[in-house]
Amino acid sequence: MAVAQALMSAQSLAQYLHQQIALSRAMEVDALEVSEDSVRLSAPLAPNVNHRATVFGGSASALAILAAWSLLHVRLRGLFPQVSIVIQRQSTSYNRPIQGAFSARAALAHPDDWPRFVRLLARRGKARISVTSTLEYAGEQVGQFSGDFVAFDQH
C-alpha cells in the first residue's frame, strides 16, 4: 500500500489547486510541504483579512479543507487515477485571532483506517475517511479542523 511514488511536489500541488479550485487562487494558497503523512498549505493575510485585520474564519476553514483534501488527493492519485474526493461534513474551532500569514497541516484522523479505506474504494468504488487539519500562526496552534471525505473511483 505504498504511496510514496505517487506523491506530488509542493509546487505541482499548488499549481493544481490554483487550476482546479478558484478560491485557492483568490486566497493565494501556497503548498509548503507534501509528504505521505501530511500536507501543509499556507496563505497570506491580505486576501484573507477581515474587519478586525485578522484572518476571516471562512478563509481559515477553506485552507484547512484544501489541506485535508490535498492529502487525500496526493495519496490516492497513484492508486486510483480517476478518483474524485468530496467533502461531506466538517467542523472548525477557532482558538484565537490569526494576525498574519497562516498555515494548515493535514493528517489522517486515524492512520490505521487507510488500508480499509483503500480496500473499500477498490471493491465498492466508494469509501469514507476522516482528516484533521491544524491551523497554525507564528508557530502556534490557532485552530482545529476535522472533516469527513468521500472518495469515488470513477474508473
Q: At closest approach, how far in Å is the CB of 115 from a second copy?
A: 26
**Which of 12, 20, 35, 141 is in the footprint of a second copy by CB under 8 A?**
20
Residue 77, Cβ density class (10 Å: 0-12 exposed, 13-18 middle, ≥19 buried): middle
Q: How far is the CB of 103 from a second copy (least distance, A)?
A: 15
Residues 41-70 as x/- pattern, contact with a second copy by CB under 8 A: -----xxxxxxx---xxxx-xxx-xx----
How many CA atoms lie less than 13 Å away from 95 in the CB half-sphere? 10
Contact 28, 41 (CB under 8 A): no
26 binds a second copy per the rule CB under 8 A: yes
Distance CA 72, CA 53 (A): 32
CA angle (143 as vertex; 23, 70 as ends), nearest 5: 45
**Nearest Cα to 149, choosing from 67, 89, 74, 102?**
89
Which residue number, 13 or 119, has a Cβ lying nearer to a second copy?
Answer: 13
Q: Smallest distance, Å, CB 138 to a second copy?
A: 18
Should residue 155 be labelled a site residue for a second copy when binding is judged by CB under 8 A? Answer: no
Contact status, residue 70 vs residue 48, Cβ threshold 8 Å:
no
22 binds a second copy (CB under 8 A): yes
Residue found by looking up cell 501530511 in the block: 38
User: At 104, is the secondary structure helix, strand, or coil?
Assistant: strand
Interface residue with a second copy, options 2, 82, 86, 139 (CB under 8 A): 86
Least distance CB 19 / a second copy (angstroms): 8
Per-residue x/- mask for a second copy, residues 89 to 108, rule CB under 8 A? xxxxxx--x-----------
| Interface residues toward a second copy, by CB under 8 A | 20-23, 26-27, 46-52, 56-59, 61-63, 65-66, 84, 86-94, 97
